[in-house]
């Protein structure tokens, strides 16, 4: 095979499944017999193939056996597809007449007839069409409940066609009041899709992935601002966020975004001396990032912008306290720990890629992120677990305290911010590791404004 794209296509089973049995058998044979680093062994196999000697007859028999062993694709689903043809045509006529109520009824009937895993993708498409009809009906008649119906249909589409993630984005856009559990699920799906594409760009085989990860692992350890900021942005991508390092004066050092609901703005001070306090200047720089965010067309719609200061310093300059309100603090060692955890999480995900189709890959990524406690909501909880205003000031700092005690103990800190969501699916005592992921902007126990994902 010539070219990485062709190899990436052929190593995926779902792609090979649609090939002619003869071609599929030959590719299967080639892939299995290429799993070696011994170039001499590979060269000897190529020589046997080119010579077509009697020794190659064993390989030829193997390929023929593979070809004959290919199970014919079941065509039982054809009857189900035939049964909905008249409804599909009727749906189209209803759209032309702008009879969206009738179109919605037909689309719903079509979905009911498309049962089974084999038709999951087509069922997702018709859930999407049903959602479109419901949306237009809601807009035309000013029926708010129809927009809810549209959101529900888009959510069903995202679950049936797991590899098409923008269905989930549509559902989130239409229903800002969706339950916490649903929002957590949809954000996790968006992150899984982003990670899937990230790993695909680095290749599911070859040395590009380990080389890239090793490079950024070294950069995240650096004190130099430009190196650390690059690695911080790459960490966001590794975790499934849409991460970027913006240019220009007054811009954050890194921006992480997921969906349209929230954005994380980072002010990193990796090159600062650990012994001093976080300064007024740093606080003022960080406070200006939300003004920067609202001026960006791609970010202005994000209702929740959370600003996080990353620093090796553990205390707040007393004079900076009035400027620290609304900001969050993260020690630089916690960022480096998060990078190491993320790296360890992605390696087994990548190793399973060649044997999984697109939908199973997304499920595998979601399961692995949940097991590693690196879902988007859990990551955000970690990043915003300490309010900057609650750090000890330099004047009153006590030896041995890193920033005002254990996270989760301060009133109005992580414990209050995540409030009632802490009980969602968690039963352990460690606040910092159990802060839940989908957060609602509302009042905490102390009356402070909380965070919403």
pLDDT in tens, 187-239: 888 898 889 889 988 887 778 899 999 999 999 999 999 999 999 999 999 99
Give the pLDDT band of residue 254 (cuts 50, 70, 90): very high
Q: How far apart are CA 243 and CA 229, in angstroms?
A: 11
Which of 272, 388, 401, 382 is closest to 334 using CA atoms? 382
Whether 414 has a pLDDT exceeding 50, the answer reads: no
- What are the angstrom distances between the C-alpha of 440 and each of 128, 262, 446? 27, 11, 15
pLDDT at 105: 94
Full set of structural domains in the chain with CATH: 4-68 (no CATH), 77-178 (1.25.40), 208-434 (no CATH)
pLDDT at 444: 40
Task: Provide the mean pLDDT of the chain.
Answer: 80
Q: Which of 423, 405, 425, 402 is nearest to 413 (CA)?
A: 405
- Element (DSSP H or E) covering residue 140: helix 120-141
Residue 443 has pLDDT above 50, yes or no: no
Q: Name the pTM for this structure.
A: 0.61
Q: Are strands 254-258 and 242-244 parallel, antiparallel or unpaired?
A: antiparallel
**CA distance linking residue 315 with residue 30, whole number of Å:** 60
270 burial via Cβ count (<10 Å: 0-12, 13-18, 19+) = buried
How far apart, in whole angstroms, are the C-alpha atoms of residue 216 and residue 439?
30
Banded model confidence at residue 71, pLDDT cuts 50, 70, 90 = confident
Distance CA 216, CA 228 (A): 9
The answer on pLDDT for 315 being more than 90 is yes
Secondary structure (DSSP) of 190-254: HHHHHHHHHHHHH-SSSSHHHHHHHHHHHHHT--SHHHHHHHHHHHHHHTT-EEE---STT--SE
Burial 59-73 (b: 16+ CB within 10 A, else e): eeeebeebbeeeeee
Residue 215's beta-bridge partner residues?
Answer: none
Spatial neighbors of 431 by CB under 8 A, at least 6 apart, are 385, 407, 408, 409, 414, 415, 422
State how far the Cα of 379 lies from the Cα of 425, in Å rounded to an integer: 16
Residue 273's nearest CA partner among 318, 230, 223 is: 223
């Amino acid at each position: 095979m010539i070219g990485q794209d062709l190899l990436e296509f052929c190593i995926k089973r779902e792609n090979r499944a649609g090939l002619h049995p003869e071609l599929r058998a030959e590719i299967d044979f080639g892939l299995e017999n290429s799993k070696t680093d011994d170039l001499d062994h590979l060269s000897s196999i190529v020589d046997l193939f080119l010579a077509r000697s009697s020794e190659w007859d064993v390989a030829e028999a193997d390929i023929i056996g593979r070809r004959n062993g290919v199970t014919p694709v079941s065509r039982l689903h054809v009857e189900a597809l035939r049964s909905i043809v008249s409804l599909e045509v009727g749906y189209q006529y209803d759209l032309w007449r702008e009879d969206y109520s009738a179109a919605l009824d037909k689309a719903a009937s079509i979905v009911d007839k498309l049962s089974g895993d084999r038709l999951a993708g087509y069922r997702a498409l018709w859930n999407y069409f049903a959602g479109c009809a419901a949306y237009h009906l809601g807009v035309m008649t000013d029926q708010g409940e129809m927009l809810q119906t549209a959101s529900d249909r888009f959510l069903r589409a995202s679950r049936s066609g797991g590899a098409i993630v923008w269905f989930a984005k549509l559902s989130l856009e239409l229903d800002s009041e969706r339950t916490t559990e649903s929002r957590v699920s949809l954000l996790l799906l968006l992150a899984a899709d982003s990670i899937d594409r990230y790993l695909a760009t680095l290749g599911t085989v070859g040395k590009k992935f380990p080389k890239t990860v090793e490079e950024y692992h070294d950069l995240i350890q650096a004190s130099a601002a430009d190196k650390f900021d690059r690695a911080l942005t790459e960490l966001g991508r590794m975790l499934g966020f849409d991460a970027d390092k913006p240019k220009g004066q007054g811009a954050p050092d890194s921006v992480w975004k997921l969906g349209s609901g929230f954005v994380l703005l980072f002010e990193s001070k990796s090159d600062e001396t650990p012994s001093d306090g976080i300064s007024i200047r740093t606080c003022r720089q960080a406070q200006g990032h939300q003004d920067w965010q609202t001026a960006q067309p791609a970010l202005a719609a994000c209702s929740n912008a959370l600003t996080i200061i990353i620093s090796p310093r553990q205390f707040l300059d007393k004079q900076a306290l009035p400027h620290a309100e609304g900001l969050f603090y993260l020690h630089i060692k916690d960022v480096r720990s998060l990078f190491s955890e993320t790296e360890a999480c992605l390696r087994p995900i990548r190793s399973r890629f060649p044997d999984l189709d697109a939908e199973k890959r997304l499920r595998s990524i979601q399961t692995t992120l949940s097991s590693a406690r690196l879902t988007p909501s859990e990551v955000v909880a970690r990043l915003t677990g300490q309010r900057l205003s609650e750090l000890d000031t330099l004047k009153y700092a006590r030896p041995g305290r890193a920033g005002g005690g254990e996270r989760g103990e301060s009133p109005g800190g992580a414990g209050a911010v995540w409030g009632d969501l802490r009980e969602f699916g968690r039963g352990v005592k460690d606040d910092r590791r159990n802060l839940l992921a989908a957060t609602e902007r509302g009042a905490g126990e102390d009356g402070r404004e909380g965070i919403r994902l």
